[in-house]
Amino acid sequence: MCGIVAYVGNKQCQNLLLEGLKRLEYRGYDSAGIATIQDGHIRVVKTVGRVANLEDKLEEVGGVRGTIGMCHTRWATHGGVTDPNAHPHTDDKSGICLIHNGIIENYASLKTYLEEKGHKFQSQTDTEVLAMLIGELYSPSEGVDLEAAVQAALREVTGAYGIVVMCDKEPDTLVAARKGSPLMVGVGNGEYLVASDGSAVVSHTSQAFALEDYQVVKLTPKGFRTSTIHNVPVTPKIQQLEIELESIELGAYSHFMQKEIFEQPKCLSNTFRGRIDTRDGKVVLGGLASFAKELTRAKRVILLGQGTALHAAMIGEYLMEDLAKVCAVAEYASEFRYRNPIIEENTVAIAVSQSGETADTLAALQEAKDRGALALGVINVVGSTMARETDAGVYLRVGPEIGVASTKAFVGQVAVLTLVSIFLGRRRFMSADQCAEVLKALETVPDKIQRILEHDAKIKSVTERYIDRENWLFLGRGYNYPTALEGALKLKEISYIHAEGMPAAEMKHGPIALINEGMPAVFIANRGRQYEKVISNIQEVKARGGRIIAVATEGDEQIKRHADDVFYVPDIPEALSPMLTVIPLQLMAYHAAVLRGHDVDKPRNLAKSVTVE
Ligand code: F6R
């Protein structure tokens, strides 16, 4: 969704804001804008396009000055991608300026009310309505200062917001508030930053606190005050930001997605560190320790996620049934939340999410929790909303994921779900020896991923051969059916090639009609229970002119008779194989996007974290 950065202090803030905004560009890149209070007046510069376009425009107009300011990168929801719809938005009465991430659901009725009062709108956005409403309520002569006006306006609003507001009549004050959309406050020495996430703050200060829902913060160079929208004071918990600068910088790589694919071995070693005990055949998960009894009694596990996270959850479903012998189901969080789900006693709901902010996953988790489920999180971003809403959880520890297409988080999610399944399995049916055996294999995953990455050049050259094809199939069975879905999603989202993933057996029930001469079909054909069946499916596609790209197990010579191209992955127990088989698919998608000349890290229409429904 949108990215927000704001500053109040004693430094000239234009460049500092732009630097932060660049770090948040993965959240949206339809338009960008900046505002400062310059010589007592609000000065706004905004434009469609990227932060780079904003920099060009700033250069044209001679930049903006001021020691208080805000900037925004937009992922459009209400209103098209135009200059007037870009943030910041101002009001027409009180000198208010505002940036917003989220959706004001009752904006239409508020707009009618404000139009009746004579306000004239310049944009089609819900955000401008909020700026006007705050301006309408602002009345210092009646004791309604900026903070009070923001609180009052937010009491009228339904929907989601992370906002920062300033007013030219209070030129030392920033007011920020949140409901549903993340915001954090970086605490410096006589200066404060507000941002959608810590990456925009960390190069200035490592002390920060997260705003909670319905909280408002007033910031001046002299200090800050936090309260609820009903003006009840609250005391935030200032914490150390655990982000290393290196982890949010590109280094020698061309794109963040490439960097994140290549750092997967290191990331998984972090995920496993201190959690695998092969000597005693057990998994050590501090986050779950106090819920071990409830987990042992679990009768049903519901795994909730969206997109790539859902694909990891689907693998989790297989893992839970196989390793922990507990009935499990993976569900689109967006569907689950609007059903009337039956949550029986001893149900565990697991939210799977990189950001920990996806609106649907959060709401689905809440629904399951309200109906009595134990709520767990398998989440990457430490301290994210989901991490705070769950009863307990296990962090991925794969570091910040900046590329919009999720790669290392997927592998991290599958790895953690494997650990959780073994943690459960060991308490239910697995012996220490069985457990130790799987764990020993699990420990080999980082090295094995490294070996696959060494075949990058070959993967690139095969991708090149099929680069003009507009329709692809991705087929797999069992554990690798979700991997097929993930391969198709990766290709779609960054190279804009139409791809479908499905269980290989499903193909005969209709999609086989799509196959024509030369159509690429990627089969995940590693050695496993259904290997022979996959080979039959390969032949069915080949007989109809399809071109076969197979992901197979090292040493499998037979596959060469059936496939046009083969990517080998090291041998590993089937339950752990998706963490390996997905790697060539990630690399293919990456190369396809580069070869087609797309912006890999900022694919069109997408945003990294979907904080609206
Ligand atoms: C695809 C992708 C998305 C996310 C989905 C959930 O590459 O990144 O499909 O997986 O939006 O996001 P999180 O994991 O943050 O809940």
Residue pLDDT, tens place only, 521-556: 999 999 999 999 999 999 999 999 999 999 999 999
Same domain, 406 and 422: yes
pLDDT tens digits, one per residue of 28-69 = 889 999 999 999 999 999 999 999 999 999 999 999 999 999
pLDDT recorded at residue 611: 75
Q: In the structure, what pLDDT confidence band is assigned to residue 607 with cuts at 50, 70 and 90? A: confident
- Looking at residues 563-576, what average pLDDT do you find? 98
Q: How far from chain centre, in Å, is Cα 295?
A: 27
- Residue 407 half-sphere exposure toward CB, CA atoms < 13 A: 34
Give 324's DSSP letter: I
Same domain, 460 and 515: yes
Percent of the chain scoring above 70 in pLDDT:
100
Same domain, 266 and 399: yes
User: Residue 448 domain-assigned?
Assistant: no
Percent of the chain scoring above 90 in pLDDT:
91
CATH of the domain at 580: 3.40.50.10490
pLDDT recorded at residue 9: 98
Same domain, 572 and 435: no
User: Residue 608 domain-assigned?
Assistant: no
Q: Using the predicted structure, report yes or no on whether residue 323 has a pLDDT greater than 90.
A: yes
pLDDT recorded at residue 609: 77
Reduced to 3 states (helix: H, G, I; strand: E, B; else coil), residue 473 is: strand
Residue with tokens 């930049």: 63
Dist. CA 310 → ligand 1 center (Å) = 8
408 is catalytic: no
Q: Using the predicted structure, report yes or no on whether residue 201 has a pLDDT greater than 90.
A: yes
Same domain, 157 and 202: yes
Among 244, 267, 288, where does a domain finish?
Answer: 244
User: Residue 408 domain-assigned?
Assistant: yes
For residues 600 and 379, what is the distance between their CA atoms, to the nearest angstrom? 24
Supply 72's token pair.
């925004």
For residues 390 and 395, what is the distance between their CA atoms, to the nearest angstrom? 12
Q: Using the predicted structure, report yes or no on whether residue 1 has a pLDDT greater than 90.
A: no
- Looking at residues 7-14, what average pLDDT do you find? 98
Dist. CA 123 → ligand 1 center (Å) = 30
Tell the residue nearest (CA) to atom 10 of ligand 1: 308
pLDDT recorded at residue 215: 97
User: Residue 505 domain-assigned?
Assistant: yes
Of 149, 246, 245, nearest in space to 203 by CA:
245
Tell the residue nearest (CA) to atom 5 of ligand 1: 307
Q: Which of 353, 357, 411, 483 is the best mutation target for the ligand 1 pocket, counting ligand atoms within 8 Å of the beta carbon and taking the most?
A: 353
Same domain, 475 and 432: no
pLDDT recorded at residue 79: 85
Tell the residue nearest (CA) to atom 8 of ligand 1: 406
Same domain, 586 and 543: yes
Same domain, 400 and 296: yes
Dist. CA 110 → ligand 1 center (Å) = 32
Nearest-5° angle of CA 453, CA 549, CA 414?
A: 50
Among 188, 210, 244, where does a domain finish?
Answer: 244
Q: Which of 197, 358, 390 is the best mutation target for the ligand 1 pocket, counting ligand atoms within 8 Å of the beta carbon and taking the most?
A: 358
Same domain, 221 and 298: no
**CA separation (Å) from 397 to 296, 354, 375, 546, 607?**
25, 10, 20, 40, 22
pLDDT recorded at residue 238: 95
pLDDT recorded at residue 28: 85
For residues 524 and 529, what is the distance between their CA atoms, to the nearest angstrom? 13
Q: Which residue segment(s) compose the domain that 572 sits in?
A: 454-602
How does the average pLDDT of the chain come out, rounded? 95
pLDDT tens digits, one per residue of 455-495 = 999 999 999 999 999 999 999 999 999 999 999 999 999 99
Dist. CA 253 → ligand 1 center (Å) = 22
pLDDT recorded at residue 604: 87
Cβ atoms of 304 and 365 closer than 8 Å: yes
Tell the residue nearest (CA) to atom 7 of ligand 1: 405
Tell the residue nearest (CA) to atom 9 of ligand 1: 307
CATH of the domain at 165: 3.60.20.10
Give 269's DSSP letter: H
pLDDT tens digits, one per residue of 295-315 = 999 999 999 999 999 999 999
pLDDT recorded at residue 26: 84
Does the beta carbon of 354 sit less than 6 angstroms from any atom of ligand 1? yes
User: Residue 186 domain-assigned?
Assistant: yes
Among 443, 472, 503, where does a domain finish?
Answer: 443
Same domain, 278 and 388: yes
User: Residue 90 domain-assigned?
Assistant: yes
Please report the atom of ligand 1 found closest to the CA of residue 381.
15
**CA separation (Å) from 447 to 13, 440, 579?**
45, 12, 12
- Looking at residues 265-285, what average pLDDT do you find? 97
Does the beta carbon of 307 sit less than 6 angstroms from any atom of ligand 1? yes
**CA separation (Å) from 53 to 29, 138, 482?**
10, 33, 39
- Looking at residues 119-123, what average pLDDT do you find? 95
Same domain, 83 and 187: yes
Does the beta carbon of 553 sit less than 6 angstroms from any atom of ligand 1? no
Does the beta carbon of 314 sit less than 6 angstroms from any atom of ligand 1? no
pLDDT recorded at residue 606: 84
pLDDT recorded at residue 610: 80
Does the beta carbon of 77 sit less than 6 angstroms from any atom of ligand 1? no
- Looking at residues 551-574, what average pLDDT do you find? 97
Does the beta carbon of 309 sit less than 6 angstroms from any atom of ligand 1? yes
Count of domains observed in the chain = 3
Cβ atoms of 27 and 73 closer than 8 Å: yes
User: Residue 108 domain-assigned?
Assistant: yes
pTM: 0.89
Select which of 22, 259, 408, 608 is catalytic: 608
Strands (E), 526-597: 547-553, 565-569
pLDDT recorded at residue 504: 94
Does the beta carbon of 610 sit less than 6 angstroms from any atom of ligand 1? yes
Of 278, 245, 251, nearest in space to 263 by CA:
251
Does the beta carbon of 486 sit less than 6 angstroms from any atom of ligand 1? no
Number of Cβ within 10 Å of residue 454's Cβ equals 8
User: Residue 607 domain-assigned?
Assistant: no
608 is catalytic: yes
Dist. CA 194 → ligand 1 center (Å) = 24
pLDDT recorded at residue 570: 98
- Looking at residues 342-369, what average pLDDT do you find? 96
Which helix (H) or strand (E) is 240 found in, with range? strand 239-240
Give Rg (Cα) of the chain.
25
Please report the atom of ligand 1 found closest to the CA of residue 309.
10
pLDDT recorded at residue 77: 82
Same domain, 71 and 169: yes
Q: Which residues, listed in sequence order, are joined to residue 99 by a DSSP beta bridge?
A: 164
pLDDT recorded at residue 140: 96
